[in-house]
Structure 1
Amino acid sequence: MRPSSRSSIRFAGASLLALALPAAAHAQSAAPLPALVGEVKIPNQSFKLANGLTVVVHEDRKAPIVAVSMWYNVGAKDEPKGKTGFAHLFEHLMFNGSENLPGDTFKWLQEMGATDENGTTSFDRTNYFQTVPKAALDRALFLESDRMGYLLGAVTQEKLDNQRGVVQNEKRQNYDNRPGGMVFPTVYQNLFPEGHPYHHIPIGSMADLDAATLLDVQTWFRENYGPNNAVLVLAGDVSAAEARTLVQKYFGSIKRGPVNVPAQASVPPASPKSIVLKDKVAATSVSRWWAVPGMLDKNTQALDLAGSVLGGLASSRLSQILVRDEKLAVAVSASNGANQRVGTFSVSATVRPGVDPVVVEKRLDEIVADYVAKGPTRDELRRAATALVASQIRGLEQVGGFGGKAVALAEGQLYAGDANWYRTELQRYASVTPAQVQTAMRQWLTRPPLKLRLEQGERPASDEAKGAQSKPAGAVPAPTKRDVPPLGSFASLDFPTVERATLSNGIKVTYARRTAVPLTQLALSFDAGSASDPANARGLQALTANLLDEGAGALNAQAIAERREELGMSLNVSSSLDRTNLVSSMLSANIAPSLQLLETIVERPTFAQDDLDRLRNQTLTGIAQSQRDANGIVQRNLPTLLYGASHPYATVGAGLPDAMKRFTRNDIVSYSQAWLRPDNLEIFVVSNLPLADITRQLEARFGNWTAPAGVAKGTKAFTAAPPSVSGPRIYLIDRPNSPQSVIVGAQVTPLQSNADILAADAGADVLGGNFLSRLNSDLRETRGWSYGVGGGFSLNEKLVPYTIQAPVQADRTGESIAAINSQISDLFGSKPVTGEELERLVSNNVKSLPGQYETSAAVMSALIQNDLLGRPDDYQEKLAARYQALTTGQLVPALRAAVDPQKMTWLVVGDAAKVRPQLEKLGMPIEVITTK
């Protein structure tokens, strides 16, 4: 529903683990996989109302929040011919207000302080979810019941026309304007024949969306959204007894709907095809696709693990052979994507530039054939299953959202008729044998696949909207009046106590304890970031950091990947302008060997020439691809326009190609010695283990680490000032045949990130910082020109820029910039912040605080940002009082002091032939530039 919404895919397994395991000194002594899986529990109770609504309740009292997740048993597979995209279109319409909660649904969600609020549509279901403070549970249930039973009186022709336009812009953004965006629909159109329920993808066609009438959508709603066709899951600070009373109160009077029998579908006979697609891609990719059984089939878990071993894990066979050993590809993947009835198994490789794609296709087919013939090893399966279970443990803290406990329960109940289906899945993962995987692969992957090659070239024109057709509109029924329940008393945020320690070599440790999960989240944060790159060596920082786990000590990249998987450990490089962070999530039971591996990676990287050459090629391919993608073009060009080419913040995506080509191993080693060193490091930890245990473990691994002798610590030179701007200017980058333009307006503000900028930030929130902001409400919800518009401040250590980003349909590019400027002028002039806007902003930011810091990852992110910006440890806990003290008269002056519309730099990426005539009407200087 929101721009962050994604096409939903199956969430395998549970999101809850309750473990009490002994610390392990070595991976071999870690708890065996069956024992881990045996501890996975999401205690729940279920009941059904007389009208057929199935309710599942999981009680979790760790925080005063409740996830409310409503799943309807209707998706794209249930759409008849001529009505493709209806389920997804209705997902949007159900966010446009109901009979007793009129207006945009996000208005009511913000009033409740909701977090993780969204909706998604898949082939098999439509869901709506939000996590709300316990005090808003009545209101949240009323909201879901009102749009289930009392919706159509609020669905007007105007709303239908608007959301039709929004969905069509979503299609342009996610499929038509994105390189490779046509692969997904092409695969389903060719694997599943005409008339098969999975022949079309959930977004639907422009023509069918154009043809939708009010009567059509009313009929669609009445046939599919009754209580007997839904599952409601409540997970969090609520008991089953409380839930039964509330659900009966709000849903009990809703009448049953027609009995919906979801479309049945079987795996069709193989129809071998070879398809060549052309698009704005930098490197050719080749892939193989098979139609396979759906999620309830006994072979599904075996195929899941087969995909992980083949191309899903960092240690996968495809990675080792095609990327690391033979260097024929720069990226590979393999996975099993199971829908309810059927699924797809795919393998793919992005061809290394200069290599013949035919050679890669031949090797890909040979590797798959050999794998199917011989099967995986027991060790490979154990690592794949451990990695999967560890991933589920990391979802423990989240009660809702895209993949929390509520998702596991709802998915099982809806698809399998069993909320505890996650147990069956995980038990199968733990017990699958190599022979079972081999049998499943021989049954399904020996059939002729769909062969697809995506190569550089001109993409065929996408189908475009032609406007809604004239048909009987349908009458809007009279609304039914219901009393909206009041909100209760909201709990304050209880941010964990921040503690500190110092290792014997001076490394500072900042720590917070969270005991809900047996996990340790740890970040090694170096004072580096992309600002540490010299102006003539953009990308050196990122390349060096990414090389760390490609080889260290006696371990090569394959060995490091295997060791991480054995331990259930994740490791990601997360670089910002100001910091280089190595973020790891560890099973606390395996913290000792995990820290041992991390120590080796950070203190003894080998930076082998072979690894450097390989990663350089991968990076150059990524740079070339970003030069073809509209958003990538923005990321590569905006920093230089904003800060000036010589400023440390003028980072250019993954780097400059010319500089990347000339980096030597000596450059990498020198950078690492100057920046990735103990006297430039702070460690942040959130763990269920006490600080004393953490400090002891860290001291053993990092306490003796010393800076390299005779090498000075790196320093950043913030001497160059950003270019002065005398007036607004448009920079245009031509991207021919783009159905959508990406508009960015940006400027460096006079704000200091370590100062009190709450009033200015709140003003920016009203203008463009959330779904109900003026910019998004205008361009998306009123005009229907965009899938989503946003803007706000970026709090860097040295400078604070303000940025607005608006992807819009190409024929509205000029008008969109004019509309944005009009909204800014109105806010600064005749239409200042209203009392309603302030009330909504304060309510949302205060009430949502417990939900915002539900997880350990969120807490650690706050610790890192507080340190970067010099904030006190109690910053988060004092936010509520500071928001409540704001007045309408503070916001606009604070924002106006920071943002000057006359100093805005506009960057537009789109089809210049279509866009420039529109831009010329704005009266600003226009300069056409080429992408970096």
Structure 2
Amino acid sequence: MKKLRYSIGLLGLMLTHLAFSQTKLVETVTRKEGELIIPYQKYVLPNGLTLVVHEDHSDPIVHVDVTYHVGSAREEIGKSGFAHFFEHMMFQGSDHVADDEHFKLVTEAGGTLNGTTNGDRTNYFETVPSNQLERALWLEADRMGFLLDAVTQKKFEIQRATVKNERGQNYDNRPYGLAYEYTAKNLYPYGHPYSWLTIGYIEDLNRVNVNDLKNFFLRWYGPNNAVLTIGGDVDPKQVVQLTEKYFGSILKGPEVTKTIVPPVVVDKDRYVSYEDNIRFPMLRITYPTVARFHPDEAPLDALAQILGGGKSSLFYKNLVKTEKAVQANVGHPANELAGEFTFTVLPFPNVRLDSAEAIIRNSLTEFEARGVTDDDLAQFKATREAEIVNYLSSVAGKVSQLASFQTFTGSPNYLPTELKRYQALTKADIMRVYNQYIKGKKAVILTVYPKDKKEMVAHPDNYTVVTEGYKAPNYGYEGLKYAKAKDSFDRSKKPASGASPTLKVPPFWTDKLPNGLKMIGTKNDEVPNVTLLFSVKGGHTLSANDPSKAGIAQLTAALMNEATQNFSNEEINAKLEKLGSTIQIYASTEEIQVSVSSLTKNLDATLALVEEKMFRPKFATEDFDRLKKQQIELISNQSTQPVVIANKAYNRLLYGPDNIRAVPTSGTVKTVESITLADVKAFYQQNFSPSVTNLVIVGDVEKAALLPKLDFLKKWAAKPVALPKAPVAKKVDKTRIYLIDKDKAAQSEIRIGYLTDLPFDATGDYYRAGLANYILGGAFNSRINMNLREDKGWTYGARSAFGSTKTPGPFTASAGVKAAATDSSVVEFIKEITNYGKTGITEDELAFLKSSVGQRDALRYETSFQKALFLNQIIDYDLPGNFVEQQSQILQKMTKKEIDAIAKKHLPVNNMIITVVGNKSAVKPGLQRLGYEVVELDKEGNPAAAEGTSTPAALGGASSTTPKK
């Protein structure tokens, strides 16, 4: 009988293929040796769906992307946010896919998935093991052709609330989050497709109804307005057959034509402003330019980099280096219908914004006088080439490029043209576009000023949006009808998985220098690039020896990014840009890292600059003074950011005020003020040692060819570095709520957890605890996220995790939630943690855990960066080469009893810290009713000065752990 069923299934597939055999092969593009090109086959189905297939067997994975040529630019006045709203609705089930099952099925298969929306397109994508291709196509086809009957009022309301929370978290509650909204509505004419944000306005989201949303789907989500791009470990013939089977019967949608709008004209400088809860004011000047792929896009991109793209730019020299601004950059984002040339400056609080505007205009005059240099052009071309090469390092990156090129140019094979138009740039091209689009032209000049400081604006507001005379176009919503596809097979049957692919853990080599430096590496020749990652142990934790100098590791790393003994900062950055290379040095809690990326052909020259930066930093007084000032200002700025406030307070409560881990890596204003240049030099001399350094190398180079290039590392003298031991964590005596006031905050940040006794291990208790947490708060469809986001609509995302290194770290559950649901969210967090600790995992959840985690390794080793992280873990924790196999065995043998015991032991809900940052006047009364002691803290995590800040438990004493409303 099994053979008969298989034969019938195969016959059905063959009949389906015959029914849709009108699928046309449009073109085949192959790659010759040495070419930078993405090979593919392009097809068009009778219903208008474009299919692009890229075959790449380097990893056992496949990436599926469906791009619909609809974004917020297709929306109407008064109905903004539809495209993004619909992106959310597309994950809420369809006729043959149950509610929330899309996420579950992909995650269960070891894959990842998401969707994104911008002004011009919406895309949905999955990366899955290659044996899961058919399931991914079945899922995407079902929501393309069978969605609307599954769109209920309840789902609609939950996702509307989720989108509102996303706006609150990413825009309304974030410093400068509304800057682009103000720019867009004042730059573009009223009704222009780019005159509102993709997220939309709250009032529009409030007025929309479910039928409006259904009409939006019917108008724009037809197969003829979509590109299906599939890349990876696939057989193109099978891909075509499966695409015809699942997508071929979906009916063609209404015709979609290209949107055409006139060029944007700004006839006078438009000064506008708004107030925000910030420390640094913002000045943003925006000029209208050209659309993406316009001939002038490339020279305008080059102009942006020359003026403000790096440390050799004019803006850096005139604004950052002179200590007028903490940040200054220039960008040229270009989209399908228009582009913007934008200057953005965050001046120090003592710098007038009209003065900052004058510096910008003087910098442009300086540019006119000096023109474009040969170095400018060489740096831009090399940088752009490296960016393109790096983007092709993953199958997802290649698929995204093919999909974008097909959607906006009509040809997936635009990459050679893209390279050519940038490499063909001349100095004259750049000066021409400067004169045409910037010199003497008018702009929107936005000021974002701190609370109660409107006098800081660069110029009084002088512009109001003109709404008269606007006539809405006909979007074609009349007479739309929902008609489903008719099939010769049963869509309700989920496709079975193919044979599991053979996982390819990258083969690696190890070595060790006489000075103690440990090395690990692997060859990866998929792209002509090499990545190196140095990890110098110690980092911020070394300040435990002298807490009064906390922040010194970050300041030291920042200075190592500056001038060297042989080159100025500008000179060395110019050299790197000409090579298309990057060297970035930064500090974290436990290490200082040196991250290097180089095209293979430029590796020797890049390594010479690595040697210069690592071993010959200049530590110049002027650089030290400037960077110290910046670090102090940035610390002060943290008090305006709810996420940072929550993390700082939570860490202080976890570790205690005397633990260096309670202090941010940046230090405090007091500690950084005490640091001298001599302190930095001493910190570098005493702690920057090969004896505590690991080096990971991944890229297009053999070990035998690489090691001679690294001979300079043998000269690095070893020093004894004593890494501090972590103090023993103190147990939390009872669960309390710690409240930090953030006046008028639209959302509250919640952190719930405790400091564990679990150091990192790859195959022991820590690994097992992470597996147990996966169901509670690790996966998208975890209990916590499904409750707070998908069921309640209170948050854009909620999660939990164990986070340890060699030092035991915390268990933390966290979310940003809408203010009105703050107390209810705490209740639901505690409920989920309590229930999981009491009743443990279900058998279905255990099966999901084993399937999801057991198959996701196929996705873990694809890119050079992923390989580097994998190898870094091996060398850092001295793991055996087969630890992945050991993890797999542990996972498959895990029982419900074992996970239940872990949850019970490591989720001490009676002894946790609950930290809430929100609008005290709105959230405190609700929190007080939960039965916990409520302790108020200031923004630094210290007890608040006001009296009456502690509230006795109202229900059953202070140790009550059963929150009630």
Distance 1:578 1:17 in 2: 47
3-state DSSP class of the match of 2:754?
A: strand
**Do 2:78 and 2:204's aligned partners in 1 also have CA atoms closer than 8 Å?**
yes
Q: Specify the code of the residue in structure 2 equivalent to 1:822.
A: K
Q: Specify the code of the residue in structure 2 equivalent to 1:702.
A: L
Correspondences of 1:471-490 after superposition (within 5 Å): 482=491, 483-490=493-500
**Do 1:76 and 1:86's aligned partners in 2 also have CA atoms closer than 8 Å?**
yes
Deviation at 1:19, TM superposition (A): 11
Q: 2:562 maps to which residue?
A: 550
The answer as to 2:86 corresponding to 1:77 is no
Task: Find runs of 4+ consecutive structure 1 residues off by over 6 angstroms.
Answer: 16-20, 474-480
The answer as to 2:181 corresponding to 1:223 is no
Distance 1:796 1:64 in 2: 30
* Residues 1:282 and 1:129: Cα distance change in structure 2 (over 3 Å): same
* Residues 1:374 and 1:555: Cα distance change in structure 2 (over 3 Å): closer
**Do 1:533 and 1:648's aligned partners in 2 also have CA atoms closer than 8 Å?**
yes
Correspondences of 1:41-440 after superposition (within 5 Å): 41-104=37-100, 105-115=102-112, 117-271=113-267, 272-324=269-321, 326-371=322-367, 375-400=371-396, 404-440=397-433
The answer as to 2:512 corresponding to 1:502 is yes
* Residues 1:18 and 1:886: Cα distance change in structure 2 (over 3 Å): farther
Which string of whole-angstrom CA distances, capped at 9 and with x for unpartnered residues, describes residues 816-866 of structure 1?
001100111211224x31122122222121212121221111111122223
Q: 1:742 maps to which residue?
A: 749
Q: 1:643 maps to which residue?
A: 655
Which string of whole-angstrom CA distances, capped at 9 and with x for unpartnered residues, describes residues 870-908 of structure 1?
432222344333222222222121122122111211111
Which string of whole-angstrom CA distances, capped at 9 and with x for unpartnered residues, describes residues 238-273 of structure 1?
243232212111111111011122432232211421
Which string of whole-angstrom CA distances, capped at 9 and with x for unpartnered residues, describes residues 24-80 of structure 1?
xxxxxxxxxxxxxx8321111211000000111111110111110110011101101
Q: 1:753 maps to which residue?
A: 760
3-state DSSP class of the match of 1:39?
A: coil
Which string of whole-angstrom CA distances, capped at 9 and with x for unpartnered residues, describes residues 603-637 of structure 1?
11111111111111221222122211011112322
Deviation at 1:477, TM superposition (A): 9.6
3-state DSSP class of the match of 2:395?
A: coil
Distance 2:401 2:453 in 1: 39
**Do 2:789 and 2:798's aligned partners in 1 also have CA atoms closer than 8 Å?**
yes
Which string of whole-angstrom CA distances, capped at 9 and with x for unpartnered residues, describes residues 180-206 of structure 1?
111011111000021111111110111
* Residues 1:688 and 1:296: Cα distance change in structure 2 (over 3 Å): closer
Deviation at 1:476, TM superposition (A): 11
**Do 1:372 and 1:445's aligned partners in 2 also have CA atoms closer than 8 Å?**
no
Q: 2:20 maps to which residue?
A: none
1:876 to 836, 861, 884: 884
Q: 1:492 maps to which residue?
A: 502
Q: Specify the code of the residue in structure 2 equivalent to 1:449.
A: A
Q: Specify the code of the residue in structure 1 equivalent to 2:438.
A: L
Q: 2:447 maps to which residue?
A: 453
3-state DSSP class of the match of 2:549?
A: coil
Q: 1:860 maps to which residue?
A: 868
Deviation at 1:236, TM superposition (A): 1.2
Q: 2:705 maps to which residue?
A: 693
Distance 2:70 2:481 in 1: 24
Q: 1:780 maps to which residue?
A: 789
Q: 1:611 maps to which residue?
A: 623
Deviation at 1:373, TM superposition (A): 6.3
Which string of whole-angstrom CA distances, capped at 9 and with x for unpartnered residues, describes residues 275-297 of structure 1?
22221111122121011111021
Which string of whole-angstrom CA distances, capped at 9 and with x for unpartnered residues, describes residues 655-689 of structure 1?
11111112111110111111112222221111221
**Do 1:266 and 1:341's aligned partners in 2 also have CA atoms closer than 8 Å?**
no
Q: Larger Cα Rg: Structure 1 or Structure 2?
A: 2
Correspondences of 1:518-917 after superposition (within 5 Å): 518-534=528-544, 535-699=547-711, 701-707=712-718, 713-718=720-725, 720-754=727-761, 755-830=764-839, 832-917=840-925
Distance 2:715 2:30 in 1: 35
Deviation at 1:164, TM superposition (A): 0.4
3-state DSSP class of the match of 1:902?
A: coil
Deviation at 1:719, TM superposition (A): 5.8
Deviation at 1:18, TM superposition (A): 8.9
Deviation at 1:99, TM superposition (A): 1.2
* Residues 1:262 and 1:924: Cα distance change in structure 2 (over 3 Å): farther
Distance 1:738 1:823 in 2: 26
Deviation at 1:586, TM superposition (A): 1.5
Which string of whole-angstrom CA distances, capped at 9 and with x for unpartnered residues, describes residues 506-532 of structure 1?
322112222222221111111112211
**Do 2:646 and 2:917's aligned partners in 1 also have CA atoms closer than 8 Å?**
yes
* Residues 1:106 and 1:930: Cα distance change in structure 2 (over 3 Å): same
Q: Specify the code of the residue in structure 2 equivalent to 1:581.
A: Q
Distance 2:916 2:230 in 1: 44
Deviation at 1:485, TM superposition (A): 1.4
**Do 2:146 and 2:484's aligned partners in 1 also have CA atoms closer than 8 Å?**
no
3-state DSSP class of the match of 1:290?
A: strand
- Over the aligned positions, Cα root-mean-square deviation in angstroms equals 2.1
Distance 1:382 1:731 in 2: 55
Q: Specify the code of the residue in structure 2 equivalent to 1:772.
A: N
* Residues 1:808 and 1:18: Cα distance change in structure 2 (over 3 Å): farther
Moved more, 779-788 or 216-225: 216-225
* Residues 1:375 and 1:59: Cα distance change in structure 2 (over 3 Å): farther
Which string of whole-angstrom CA distances, capped at 9 and with x for unpartnered residues, describes residues 629-648 of structure 1?
01111232222211112223
Distance 1:792 1:780 in 2: 17
**Do 1:48 and 1:54's aligned partners in 2 also have CA atoms closer than 8 Å?**
yes
Q: Specify the code of the residue in structure 1 equivalent to 2:893.
A: A
Distance 1:406 1:814 in 2: 44
Deviation at 1:133, TM superposition (A): 1.3
Q: Specify the code of the residue in structure 2 equivalent to 1:594.
A: T
Moved more, 430-439 or 860-869: 860-869
**Do 1:110 and 1:841's aligned partners in 2 also have CA atoms closer than 8 Å?**
no
Q: Specify the code of the residue in structure 1 equivalent to 2:343.
A: V
Moved more, 554-563 or 262-271: 262-271
3-state DSSP class of the match of 2:796?
A: coil
Deviation at 1:125, TM superposition (A): 0.5
3-state DSSP class of the match of 1:655?
A: coil
**Do 1:553 and 1:605's aligned partners in 2 also have CA atoms closer than 8 Å?**
yes
TM-score by length of 1: 0.91
Q: 2:460 maps to which residue?
A: none
* Residues 1:729 and 1:869: Cα distance change in structure 2 (over 3 Å): farther
Distance 2:709 2:370 in 1: 42
Distance 1:72 1:571 in 2: 38
Q: 2:22 maps to which residue?
A: none
Deviation at 1:372, TM superposition (A): 5.0
Q: Give the length in aligned residue pairs.
A: 876
3-state DSSP class of the match of 2:795?
A: coil
Distance 1:751 1:389 in 2: 45
Q: Specify the code of the residue in structure 2 equivalent to 1:425.
A: E
Q: 2:464 maps to which residue?
A: none
Q: 1:25 maps to which residue?
A: none
Q: Specify the code of the residue in structure 2 equivalent to 1:523.
A: L
Q: Specify the code of the residue in structure 1 equivalent to 2:205.
A: L
Q: Specify the code of the residue in structure 2 equivalent to 1:777.
A: M
Deviation at 1:501, TM superposition (A): 1.3
**Do 2:66 and 2:227's aligned partners in 1 also have CA atoms closer than 8 Å?**
yes
Moved more, 906-915 or 534-543: 534-543
Moved more, 328-337 or 752-761: 752-761
Structure with the greater relative contact order (CA < 8 A, sep ≥ 6): 1 or 2? 1
